[in-house]
Amino acid sequence: MRNLFRPIKSKCFVIAAAFFSSCSYNDLPEPTDCSLSDLAISVDAKQNVSDCKSIDGSIAVSATGGEAPYDFSINGTTYQTSGVFSNLGPGTYTVAAKDVHNCVSEQVVELISSSSTLTAVAATKADTDCFSNNGSITVTASNGKPPYKYQFGSGTFGDINTFSNLKFGTYTITVKDDDSCPLVINVKVERGLSSISYVNDIKPILDTNCNVSGCHNGSLGSTRDWRNYPTVKANAQGIKTRTANRTMPPGAPLTQTQIDMITCWVDDGALEN
């Protein structure tokens, strides 16, 4: 009698092997290049604050361009569908619009109070470290009634006006004078160039894990040949996205350190350094 229950393990193996050797994961859609987006945010209305201790200010914004639907955020808070922000005190606010491709447009809006002359300025140091955070902010208050107190985010007020070990991004700092008049300022720590090198750090990762037979060694055409720097640069955003979500490479996974280096290098501008 014939064996009607033949194993199919070998067939599955062939299918899996064909999948990996064809490098078909590379056919996923490329991420949107937000540097080419025409997304823009505009301020439709704003209400200044009635006095320095009130929180009756408001800002209303809308978005155009990019691709709808849009979401909106203020001072780095969670995005929401509404572009109206209420219960705001005096200070500067960064409002942002985000489209369906996660492209972002920002604008700074100032709300003032006629009952206070308190002002504040911030000096920043860029974050240039790939594996830790070395950005900083120093805030200097003036034109109010000293002494001044400073609050970082939702922390407590104190005398310290320098905040260190910060990752690049936007931070909210509140300044208060001796009349307890608060002033909110929104400060952006820029991202500086890291020390990650294409020649010494990135190319060895690609050569070992990606530039192999059936994948990015040129066997699938010049547009997938990552042995050449111009091709790697043209695909840099896709490489960043797919290594970060671990869909690439399909074989042995990269370490988190390798993923972080690729991310930093791409965010540096994918330089040939």
Give the contacts of 222 (CB within 8 A, at least 6 positions apart): 228, 231
Q: What is the per-residue pLDDT for 97?
A: 98
> In CATH, which of 2.60.40.1080, 3.30.300.90, 2.40.50.140, 3.40.50.2300 is domain 119-189?
2.60.40.1080
The mean per-residue pLDDT over the stretch 120-148 comes to 95
Q: What is the per-residue pLDDT for 175?
A: 96
| Locus of tokens 């002002």 | 119
Q: Which CATH architecture has domain 34-111?
A: Sandwich (2.60)
Same-fold call for 34-111 versus 119-189: yes
Identity of the amino acid at 206: L
The mean per-residue pLDDT over the stretch 107-112 comes to 94
The mean per-residue pLDDT over the stretch 127-152 comes to 95
* Confidence check: pLDDT of 218 > 90: no
The mean per-residue pLDDT over the stretch 34-51 comes to 94
* Confidence check: pLDDT of 32 > 80: no
* Confidence check: pLDDT of 6 > 70: no
Q: Given pLDDT bands bounded at 50, 70 and 90, which one contains residue 223? A: confident
| Locus of tokens 């206070």 | 116
The mean per-residue pLDDT over the stretch 88-99 comes to 95
Q: Where are the domains of the chain?
A: 34-111, 119-189, 193-273
Q: What is the per-residue pLDDT for 127?
A: 96
pLDDT per residue as tens digits for the range 76-85: 899 999 999 9
**Percentage of residues in the chain with pLDDT exceeding 70?**
89
| HEC assignment per residue over the chain | CCCCCCCCHHHHHHHHHHHHHHCHHHHCCCCCCHHHCCCEEEEEEEECECCCCCCCEEEEEEEECCCCCCEEEECCCCCECCCEEEEECCEEEEEEEECCCCCEEEEEEEECECCCCCEEEEEEECECCCCCCCEEEEEEEECCCCCCEEEECCCCCECCCEEEEECCEEEEEEEECCCCCEEEEEEEECECCCCCCHHHHHHHHHHHHCCCCCCCCCCCCHHHCCCCHHHHHHCHHHHHHHHHCCCCCCCCCCCHHHHHHHHHHHHCCCCCC
Q: Given pLDDT bands bounded at 50, 70 and 90, which one contains residue 30? A: low
Considering the entire predicted model, what is its pTM? 0.74
